[in-house]
Amino acid sequence: MSLSMPAARPLFDYPKYWAECFGPAPFLPMSRAEMDQLGWDSCDIIIVTGDAYVDHPSFGMAVIGRLLEAQGFRVGIISQPDWQSKDAFMQLGKPNLFFGVAAGNMDSMINRYTADRKVRSDDAYTPGGKGGSRPDRASLVYSQRCREAWKDVPIILGGIEASLRRIAHYDYWQDKVRRSILLDARADLLLFGNAERAIVDVAQRLSRGDSLAEMTDIRGTAFIRKDSPEGWFELDSSRIDRPGKVDKIINPYVNTQDTAACAVEQSKGDAQQEAGSDVQVLELLPHPRLERDRTVIRLPAYEKVKGDPVLYAHANRVLHLETNPGNARALVQRHGDQEVWFNPPPIPLSTEEMDYVFDLPYARVPHPTYGDARIPAYEMIRFSVNIMRGCFGGCTFCSITEHEGRIIQNRSHDSIIREIEAIRDTVPGFTGVISDLGGPTANMYRVACKSREIEASCRKPSCVYPGICENLDTDHSSLIGLYRKARELPGVKKILIASGLRYDLAVESPEYVRELVTHHVGGYLKIAPEHTENGPLDKMMKPGIGSYDRFKQMFEKYSKEAGKEQYLIPYFIAAHPGTTDEDMMNLALWLKRNGFRADQVQAFYPSPMASATAMYHSGKNPLRKVSYKSESVDTVKGERQRRLHKAFLRYHDPNNWPLLRETLKAMGRSDLIGNGKHQLIPTFQPAIDSYQSARRKNSTPAGSPKAGRVLTQHTGLPPRETGKRKAGKGKPRSGAR
């Protein structure tokens, strides 16, 4: 069967709404006074968000707001409203078309709580970095307040919180399976994934007088319907992946109301099976094109997956099998007496559409109402440029692939260069350094399947695991050309690459590694092997540590050739499903052999809908066929074991030595306790805790950092050279900044 990516109407091919005559606003209004200045009597669409409003293409409310504005609509923003009453949700008046509700750039529960379920004291998306400016499950609360404010205004959910919670999902904070967020929020429609296509289509159709009830054909949407429409073929999910025992096929001509006849047929089936009969049963399927275009897959109902972890893992597996826009089918899941229907994922944006979205008239700064207050998330990306979307890595603990898809969506060189020039010319405080040219992954720009037909047919969860797919074109030449163009721009002194690097992909292009190491590393380069042992790496869908070693050799070779002293900073995850105590011990030994002392430790965080979260909840592996007898996965759930796994990563911290000594003795590895180089922790315990983390040691509480001091993630590394030196001392290291 030949498949191809379905065609989609370009974003810039819609007629403009009448309000286009007002033109673009300097900022999307957040108050009635601003609306009056713009000459608006009302908003057509109001976006409610849990983040501070930053008019920058890295912030969801700005992208969607500016895109709708370009379609001719008047868009207002209600940012981080007081959710205790409906009053804040009425401040811009009644929207003519709909409320768009999103929790923000992060799931609100992940934003508000640590992996140990402790409330965070800070929020990077809030002025001043203060915590507490958004509620738990913000999408639900905001939707309820919007409904109280204006009962007859449609509510459309979007953003990553809605995307990851669209089906019945395991909620780490309540330790239970929750219903689809669409039902709990009582919203009219849910948009998942990158929602530009869907939101433009919905807005255009509502402006023409269509009702949301008629909009059942928009990709990337979820909605409630009573039953499957006429003309659709319903396929049970067990036909794709059987979670357990399946009833034997009986004679189709037997009257199933005749229990005696059914019993006879059942006994015949048992006899045939015992005799090893080779009788084959033919199964007639619908026409192949009909199967894809007019087929809906029925997932186990919410009530089933809520009480059966194996069925939950099965449903999670089927969901991830249906994520390629080229071959994905619709899904449906019953919740009580309601059906939640999920259309196939959105078609990826073309390069021309990506340019269109990123070339919109963003102010590139926070809304003036925040004054001089710092918004940490904005400070991080103020001088960075997003060059692509998507990730085909498929790491099981990550939400990028689930939200943005596996097909890389690229901007053109010209669009990226225009944005760098805009930063240089308009963004306050620019010193000539672009902090990042990247995206979800630094080096997947223009990397794609060699065949569009194969890409549209593929159902693999990753293009780079267990090895790089033979159909993947790993050519980095376009990215290298982009780096060189950006470096040549007047007024640009340095281009750094801060996005995560897929090093197993990078080693396929030595020229790219040379270019990166020679020109775009500011002393340290962060990469994420995540672990050293195959057990957890297999459950993460990450390459073996050998790939890291190959990249490290290339990194050091090209750093030496460039005359630069540079270092790799590897990141690791503790307590990931599939990780044993022995795995963590071996990782700690590897860290010590290689001289790494992790300052911050990342513990596994079960985000909604992730495959690793399904492992955590069910103890089953959804990367393979799931059944009650299928492979079990070790999970780290108890507080003590989670502390232990983090302690192994911070083996150098005296506070962890008592727990590690106790554990090593219980494991029969007392040989690792002592003062030798080959041993992990010493036998003595200091009376006073003398340990000081690298974060605290290499940073100053206030003012500018002292010369030679820098915020790092590891101890044992020399401080970054600032260029200042005392008379008579050696020359500063080349490549320092």
Q: What is the pLDDT of residues 570-627, one digit of tens each?
A: 999 999 999 999 999 999 999 999 999 887 788 999 999 999 999 999 999 999 999 9
Burial 702-718 (b: 16+ CB within 10 A, else e): eeeeeeeebebbbbebe
Cα angle for residues 93, 69, 135 (degrees, 5° grid): 55
Alpha carbon distance 288, 507 (integer Å): 40
pLDDT of residue 694: 47
pLDDT of residue 250: 38
pLDDT of residue 228: 81
Q: Is 395 annotated as a binding residue?
A: yes
Of all residues in the chain, what percent are helix, strand and coil, respectively (each to 5)?
A: 35, 15, 50
Q: Which DSSP symbol is given to 691?
A: -
The conformational region for residue 717 under phi > 0 = left, psi -120 to 50 = alpha, else beta, is beta
Contact 453, 4 (CB under 8 A): yes
Residue 553 CB: number of other CB atoms within 10 A?
11
Find tokens 């290339």 and name the residue: 554
CATH 3.40.50.280 domain locations along the chain: 20-232+290-342
Q: How far is CA 562 from the centre of its chain?
A: 35
Q: Is 605 helix (H, G, I), strand (E, B) or coil?
A: coil
Find tokens 């102010």 and name the residue: 363
Q: Beta strands 176-178 and 169-171: pairing type? A: antiparallel
Q: Which DSSP symbol is given to 122?
A: B
Q: H or E stretch including 449?
A: strand 448-449
Q: Is 391 annotated as a binding residue?
A: yes
pLDDT of residue 265: 45
Alpha carbon distance 191, 277 (integer Å): 50
Q: How is residue 440 written in tokens?
A: 């979800």
- For residue 99, give the nearest of 64, 135, 136, 57 by alpha carbon: 64
- For residue 55, give the nearest of 317, 325, 375 by alpha carbon: 375
Contact 17, 45 (CB under 8 A): no
Q: H or E stretch including 569?
A: strand 567-574
Q: Beta strands 597-598 and 714-715: pairing type? A: antiparallel
List of the chain residues with pLDDT < 70: 1-3, 240, 242-290, 688-737
State the pTM of this model. 0.87
Contact 464, 392 (CB under 8 A): yes
In CATH terms, the fold of domain 20-232+290-342 is Rossmann fold (3.40.50)
Q: Tell me the CA distances in angstroms from 303 to 173, 333, 613, 625, one per residue in order.
A: 19, 10, 19, 22
Alpha carbon distance 466, 481 (integer Å): 29
In 604-660, the DSSP E strands lie at none
Q: Is 469 annotated as a binding residue?
A: no
Q: Tell me the CA distances in angstroms from 71 to 80, 97, 192, 431, one per residue in order.
A: 25, 14, 21, 35
Burial 623-640 (b: 16+ CB within 10 A, else e): beebbeebeebbbbeeee
Find tokens 């036998």 and name the residue: 683
Alpha carbon distance 463, 262 (integer Å): 47
Q: How is residue 572 written in tokens?
A: 């690791």
